[in-house]
Amino acid sequence: MERKASYRIAVLGATGAVGRRMVETLERRNFPIESLKLLASERSAGQTIAFRGEQLPVERATADSFEGIDIALFSAGATTSQIFAPEAVKRGAVVVDNSSAYRMDPNVPLVVPEVNPHTLDDHQGIIANPNCSTIQLMVALHALREFGLEHVTISTYQAVSGMGQKAVDALREEVAAWQATGTIASTIFPLASQDAHYPQAFNVLPQCDIFLDNGYTKEEMKLVNESRKILELPDLKVSPTAVRVPVLYGHAESVAVRFATPVTPDIARARFAQAENLVVVDEPSAAKYPHPQMAEGTGDTFVGRIRQDLADPHTLLFFVVADNLLKGAAWNAVQIAEELVKRA
């Protein structure tokens, strides 16, 4: 990418929960923008979205939409990425893709800017934004990597907004129905595309995304495979359980990590405190620890409940929280764009 005073940016999927936050984040960060083009499917084209005091029109995306674009932020699903990313790259754009389409492609950097920004040095036009639940885990684990990461056991508490704006609306509707009638008829949780539906309001569902043949969900395997790629630890052991909870915004993760060497909570707390964009909230005596509503609307990752395993000084337990739509998606993508600008 050529160095410039300001850049021509496109956001594909601009009307979605993540796309809207990409636009907001570009504005909040005062990103050096010459022009901003908002793109979506035919269904959403014609809407407008506020940016720097103007209502920008949302256009239907075509291959030619990317003509003259420097950086394109994609958040429109894997199929759409596979259609448009090569077209955008062909026209000279760098694509930061929030879908799963290219994450495990060996030619595509999978980037958490606090963790592996060096991998941006030799991209081939496409850069992948990791999955939301992976990103916040990476920010925390990276801070402790000097102790030798061996085995990560993780159980997640994931917000419905990870399924998009429709799921946010659906949880509100389930709660309203329950208030009015005492019953809930779910049609979207845990997954709109399958036959079996369960209430999500006042319920916990151990299914995020589809099941794979090995009995794990796609979300769980993302935690395994993306963590290994980002940390460059192909043999890292990851034991994941991904669970959807009736929270609107903010994923939480209960994490147990075994290290090659013993690590005390004090040392871990010090390393976490030094890490970029990681906030330590860990005062049990004052009942202070991270929770989703603390993270909502922020770009930071929060860590607390840091304690040694009772039986194994090589293992630490802690609790990690971040806003899944910001650090888990939109903000991480804009951070990558900022890194690209720095490197141009």
- Contact between 269 and 185 under an 8 Å Cβ cutoff? The reply is no
Angle, helices 331-343/17-28, rounded to nearest 10 degrees: 50
Own/partner contacts of 77-80, CB < 8 Å, gap of 24 or more, are: 77/13, 80/12, 80/13, 80/41
Best CA proximity match to 242, nearest among 256, 229, 254: 254
Annotated binding site for NADP(+): 15-18, 43-44, 161-162, 324
Q: Which is nearer to a second copy, 317 or 341 (CB)?
A: 317
Q: Which is nearer to a second copy, 106 or 215 (CB)?
A: 215
Best CA proximity match to 293, nearest among 246, 328, 247, 227: 247
DSSP string over 117-154: GGGGGG--SEEEPPPHHHHHHHHHHHTTGGG-EEEEEE
Angle, helices 132-142/218-231, rounded to nearest 10 degrees: 40
Annotated binding site for substrate: 158, 244
For tokens 């754009």, the residue is 93
CB of 256 to a second copy, least distance (A): 5
CB of 158 to a second copy, least distance (A): 10
Q: Which of 123, 142, 251, 314 is catalytic?
A: 251
**CA-CA distances (angstroms) from residue 286 to 17, 218, 282?**
35, 38, 9
CB of 33 to a second copy, least distance (A): 32
Q: Which is nearer to a second copy, 109 or 190 (CB)?
A: 190
CB atoms within 10 A of CB 33: 17
CA distance 103 to 125: 13
Q: Which is nearer to a second copy, 110 or 205 (CB)?
A: 205
CB of 122 to a second copy, least distance (A): 30
- Contact between 23 and 31 under an 8 Å Cβ cutoff? The reply is no
CA distance 222 to 151: 16
Give the pair of three-digit tokens for residue 343. Answer: 């490197």
Q: Which of 132, 142, 208, 314 is catalytic?
A: 132
Q: List residues near a second copy by CB under 8 A.
A: 151, 153, 155, 157, 175-176, 179, 190-191, 194-196, 198-199, 202-207, 211, 214-216, 224, 237-239, 241, 243, 245-248, 252, 254, 256, 265, 284-294, 304-312, 315, 317, 319
Annotated binding site for phosphate: 103
CB of 307 to a second copy, least distance (A): 4
CB of 317 to a second copy, least distance (A): 6
The sheet with strand 48-51 has its strands ordered as: 48-51, 54-60, 33-40, 7-12, 71-74, 94-97, 126-128
Q: Which is nearer to a second copy, 324 or 335 (CB)?
A: 324
Q: Which is nearer to a second copy, 150 or 338 (CB)?
A: 150
Backbone angles phi, psi at 294, to 5 degrees: -70, -35
Q: Please, what is the end-to-end C-alpha distance for the chain in angstroms?
A: 6
Q: Is 251 a catalytic residue?
A: yes
Catalytic residue IDs: 132, 251
